Every structure is written in structure tokens, then in C-alpha cells.
Amino acid sequence: MSEEKESATIEGKAPVNILELDPKFKYEVSEQPGGENLKLCFSCGICTAGCPATEVDNEYNPRKLIRMILLGMKEEVLSSNLIWLCSLCYTCYARCPQNVKFTDIMGVLRDMAVREKYVHPSFVKHIDEIDRLSQKMRHQMVRAIFSQKKEDRPINRMNLLKMAIEKLQEE
């Protein structure tokens, strides 16, 4: 088999070496609690279209991650920084017509990444701390504009952010 026939390209990115794919990966993921519906995905893209993480990072693409899992790109998926960018907001979960439950799949991938030593267990704790902090920041910022509920006034996001940080430092 020639090298050309052994690789494929995903979305115009670097070639994928077919010999390096793990055909069992999709089964490993789907056998874990939370991964059962993985193979129901038909790549409609609704998960990606509604994802808040894709609004701030063009690289993040739930549909692409599912495709990589289904192709068997185990090392690429489990070593990817992208699996840590999901905010676990469940938007994709609620909108998916196939009930794939992508948020649960992200949990499975994160657990596998730790178990297979792609990341240190403390990294998960750091991500959890960041998630809690970002939720607290959002909470403080929203509370700060309650007085403007009935007005059409612009907000100064940087001032809101500063104020939220100050409030959190008081805690």
C-alpha cells in the first residue's frame, strides 16, 4: 500500500495516517457510562452551531471531536487541549436531535485522558476551580446590572469584570 493510500485528510488539516487509527476507540468510549449514545451521531452540526465555546474559540468543534472519536483518533483526542475547553453547559446536549449527550462524552474523554496519563489528575481539579470561578464571575456581573433591567443603557464589560473581581477578592 502506498503512503498516499494510507492517509486521509480531515477538514483540510494534516493527513491522518490510517495505520495509526484505533478502530476500538469508539467502542471504548461508548462502553463508558455517558458514552453510550456516541455512535448515534450523524454529524448534523447542531452541537457545534449552538456551542458557546465555539463562539470564543474557532478551533473548538464538537462535531469534529465526535468524528475523530469515530475514526479512531484516540491519541489525538485524548492528548488534545480541546477536550478541556468545553464548559459543560449542556447546550449541545439539549439541542442534539440524536440524543448523543456530548457533554457526557466530554466527561468520558476527560476521565480516559487522566486514566491513560495524558494529563495529571490535578489538572482536572484546576479545570473545576476555573469553572467555579467563571460561574461566580458571571453571577457577580449579572447581579451588578440588575438595576438596569428596565433601561436600554450600554454596559461597560471591563468595569463589570473589575467589580466582580473585587467582590470575589472580598470573599
At 55 the pLDDT is: 93
- Give the count of beta carbons closer than 10 Å to the beta carbon of residue 158: 8
At 7 the pLDDT is: 44
> How is 1-16 classified by DSSP, letter by letter?
--HHHHEEESTTSSEE
At 10 the pLDDT is: 47
Mean residue pLDDT across the chain: 90
Indicate yes or no: pTM above 0.75.
yes
Question: What is d(CA 71, CA 17) in angstroms, rounded to the nearest whole number?
Answer: 11
Sequence letter at residue 166 = E
At 12 the pLDDT is: 52
- Give the count of beta carbons closer than 10 Å to the beta carbon of residue 160: 17
Question: What is d(CA 25, CA 31) in angstroms, rounded to the nearest whole number?
Answer: 10
At 5 the pLDDT is: 42
- Give the count of beta carbons closer than 10 Å to the beta carbon of residue 53: 19
Question: What is d(CA 164, CA 139) in angstroms, rounded to the nearest whole number?
Answer: 8
* Cα 121 to chain centroid, rounded: 18
**C-alpha cell read off for 46:** 447542531
Positive or negative: CA dihedral 142, 145, 150, 151: negative
Question: What is d(CA 104, CA 92) in angstroms, rounded to the nearest whole number?
Answer: 10
CA-closest candidate to residue 37, choices 47, 26, 46: 26
Question: What is d(CA 77, CA 101) in angstroms, rounded to the nearest whole number?
Answer: 17
Low-confidence ranges of the chain (pLDDT < 50): 1-11
